Structure 1
Amino acid sequence: MKKLLGFGGSNMSPGIHEIHEASRMGDLEKLQKLIKKGKNINKRDQSNRTPLHWAVFQGHEDLVKALLDAGANTNLCNQNNNMPLHMAASWGRVSCLKLLVEHGADINAPGKYNNTALHWAALTNRVECMEVLIKHNAVVDALNVDNNVPLHWAAFKGNLECLELLLTAKADYMRPNNDKNLPIHVAAFKGHKDCVLALLKNEMDVNCPGEKDSTPLHFAAMNGNQETTKALIEKGANVHVLNVSDNAPLHMAASAGFVDCLQVLLDAGADVNARGQNGNTALHWASLGDHMTCVSLLLRAEANAAIKNKDESTAHDLAISKHNSACAQMLALSVDEASSSGLRDQYDATLSKVEDLFADLGLPTISSQQTALTVVTPDPASKDSSAAFTVSSPAGVDMEEFEDPSDQPDMERD
């Protein structure tokens, strides 16, 4: 960071001042001399950062106190609209956070993407910071630019202790974001089973609809979260429920190639031949995605390969149209077709050989842990039989962006 920011001796970059360097380096003696000389304690550097931003970021409690005692403004924003308070909450500088709050920092001030300090603490799992903020009346249901509350962030990152702390503080677990998703949809999509179960303790509906009327089970299945899928079913999740595109969780798992979730759903009584979007069955979706292990599992579960969708296409037709030759070969010898032509033994032998080949090549078979493949995501309104699902990450676009740590308040970037 020294090289990046140009600190050090006489080689300081333009816009970096002595008072910023002292604050960054933790040089209390130098800072006190500069303050005594009447230097501007709210001086901005090239990125609009003040000495207080630097002292807080580095966790220099004594320098933070010196700056605050000298009258430093706690609520000045850097170029990315983050205040020292956001820095403290994000990086877990508890003592600095307390000092800022005691000196009048706006505890609910919005920063980058309108996230408050409580949002940042929930995102980065800073439990002690959250406790301080909540104790000083931080708004637990503050909304950011995507209408995500701190509870969405805790659920998104699987920060269970933060999530439970927010629930204890009466956070609204039924608050939808811009995509109509509740924190439980976010937790289910990310596979944070413990967070899902903690939210369900509040007697909420396990089948509550979110984006495109998808339930938590849809989100868990579409992202291959086997344990979360199982936990939701044990809590009464409906395996047959359809979203606005007429797809059930089974269709989501088949489309994405998540064979373990597929098995869990089938074991729970999901209808293997249920029709979804455009009349496609799970077998259609698995064939479209060239998910051999899913096709194999579905056929063993007595999926009917002769079913046609609204375009009069069978799963075999779709496999051919996508040049998925292995799936097409397997479907050509499906149980239903083989039975009528006296080829059942040949089908079983072929299926066995295919799975042996998968094992030899080190590829996942039906008993594999998780086969995480790409989800096709065209328009749900499309009647194209190749169209799968457009339900995105339930957290919304900006939430996915926040997985990149470059979006955390950071002195190298802000």
Structure 2
Amino acid sequence: MTAIEKNSVDAVKILTENGASFVDGKLKNNFLKINPHPIVYAVQNDRVEIVKYFLTRFDDALKDFTCYDMNSALENAQYNQNIEMVETLCVFIKDNYQKFAPKSPIEYFINQAILRNYPVEILNSLFGIGVVDYSYQNERDGLTLLHSAVKSKNLEAVKYLIEKGANPNMKDSSNDTPLSMAIKKKQSEIAELLANDSNLDVNMKIGRSNYLKMAQAKKFDNLVSILKGKGAIE
């Protein structure tokens, strides 16, 4: 791993072109049981050029690179908020999806990016893979990507998801839509953004209430005006 640590692309090329084993790179240790795949290790250390080189090596570097390894690589790239690294991995996944898609669904990574307020460029790269299910809901509480954006007060993500056509009418396990969640959390700006979505069912029932009654109770005058203008009734 020394060539990776020193960020020496030339040294990595010399080693791989002279038969260095990638399988042997996964050496056991006393703590982690097994070290990460060299590609994952390079991602962890922000070695973008080395990763780009590895991703061209289908006969060695990628020979034993599993969907679990890709999971680790993409998670680490996101955690480091390395925009170029995320883009590099996402482009590779898109071009080689059948063989090198990560174990977790792409929506999982998007959800994490939203909840942690990662830069919008990371979202762009993830969406660029092109296999996003906008009706995705996590198993624990039924949150959609749009719910997660509201939960994390991520205005840019809300805008992005609306532009991508995310469904604003889906309910989570608590019977909340993204808009009802925004109203309850007193996020007036996000609530107004959602209310202006042309796909919104303005008269959807939320328990025994509706959006208009909820907005009036919170004294969100602008939101009340938007909802009434779209035909909301009490």
Is this a same-fold pair by TM over 0.5? Answer: yes
| Change over 3 Å in CA distance of 1:28–1:138 after alignment to 2 | same
State the SS of the aligned residue for 2:218: helix
Alignment of structure 1 residues 237-386 onto 2, 5 Å: none
Q: What is the aligned residue count?
A: 207
* Structure 1 partner of 2:224: 236
Pairing 1:173–2:168 present: yes
Alignment of structure 1 residues 148-159 onto 2, 5 Å: 148-159=143-154
- Aligned counterparts of 2:78 and 2:209: Cα–Cα separation in 1: 33
Matched letter for residue 166 of structure 1: L
Provide the identity percentage: 20
| Change over 3 Å in CA distance of 1:200–1:24 after alignment to 2 | farther
Shift of 1:171: 0.9
Q: Of residues 126, 137, 145 in structure 1, which corresponds to 2:130?
A: 137
Q: Of residues 110, 119, 127 in structure 2, which corresponds to 1:118?
A: 110
Shift of 1:65: 1.0
| Change over 3 Å in CA distance of 1:194–1:34 after alignment to 2 | farther
Matched letter for residue 181 of structure 2: V
Task: Confirm or deny: 8 A CA contact 2:22 2:37 kept in the other structure.
Answer: no
- Aligned counterparts of 2:8 and 2:75: Cα–Cα separation in 1: 23
State the SS of the aligned residue for 1:69: coil
**Could you list the runs of 5+ residues in structure 1 that have no partner in the other structure?**
1-18, 222-227, 238-414
Q: Of residues 81, 86, 90 in structure 2, which corresponds to 1:101?
A: 90
Matched letter for residue 197 of structure 1: E
Shift of 1:139: 0.8
* Structure 1 partner of 2:39: 52
* Structure 1 partner of 2:192: 197
Task: Confirm or deny: 8 A CA contact 1:49 1:77 kept in the other structure.
Answer: no
Task: Confirm or deny: 8 A CA contact 1:121 1:130 kept in the other structure.
Answer: yes
Matched letter for residue 26 of structure 2: K
Task: Confirm or deny: 8 A CA contact 2:191 2:223 kept in the other structure.
Answer: no
Alignment of structure 1 residues 23-42 onto 2, 5 Å: 23=4, 26-35=7-16, 36-40=18-22
State the SS of the aligned residue for 2:112: helix
- Aligned counterparts of 1:218 and 1:53: Cα–Cα separation in 2: 51
- Aligned counterparts of 1:137 and 1:172: Cα–Cα separation in 2: 17
| Change over 3 Å in CA distance of 1:40–1:217 after alignment to 2 | farther
| Change over 3 Å in CA distance of 1:206–1:102 after alignment to 2 | closer
| Change over 3 Å in CA distance of 1:200–1:213 after alignment to 2 | same
State the SS of the aligned residue for 1:158: coil
Matched letter for residue 183 of structure 1: P
Task: Confirm or deny: 8 A CA contact 1:152 1:186 kept in the other structure.
Answer: yes
| Change over 3 Å in CA distance of 1:218–1:104 after alignment to 2 | same
| Deviation string, structure 1 residues 29-65 (Cα, Å, up to 9, x no partner) | 5544543442216737626632322322333211211
State the SS of the aligned residue for 1:83: helix
- Aligned counterparts of 2:121 and 2:138: Cα–Cα separation in 1: 22
Shift of 1:82: 3.6
- Aligned counterparts of 2:157 and 2:77: Cα–Cα separation in 1: 16
In our comparison, the structure showing a higher alpha carbon Rg is: 1
Give the structure-2-normalised TM-score.
0.68
State the SS of the aligned residue for 2:137: coil
Matched letter for residue 90 of structure 2: V
- Aligned counterparts of 1:108 and 1:185: Cα–Cα separation in 2: 35
**Could you list the runs of 5+ residues in structure 2 that have no partner in the other structure?**
226-234
* Structure 2 partner of 1:16: none
- Aligned counterparts of 1:213 and 1:110: Cα–Cα separation in 2: 41
Alpha-carbon RMSD across the aligned residues, in angstroms, is 3.8
* Structure 2 partner of 1:77: 68
Task: Confirm or deny: 8 A CA contact 1:151 1:166 kept in the other structure.
Answer: yes
Task: Confirm or deny: 8 A CA contact 2:27 2:35 kept in the other structure.
Answer: yes
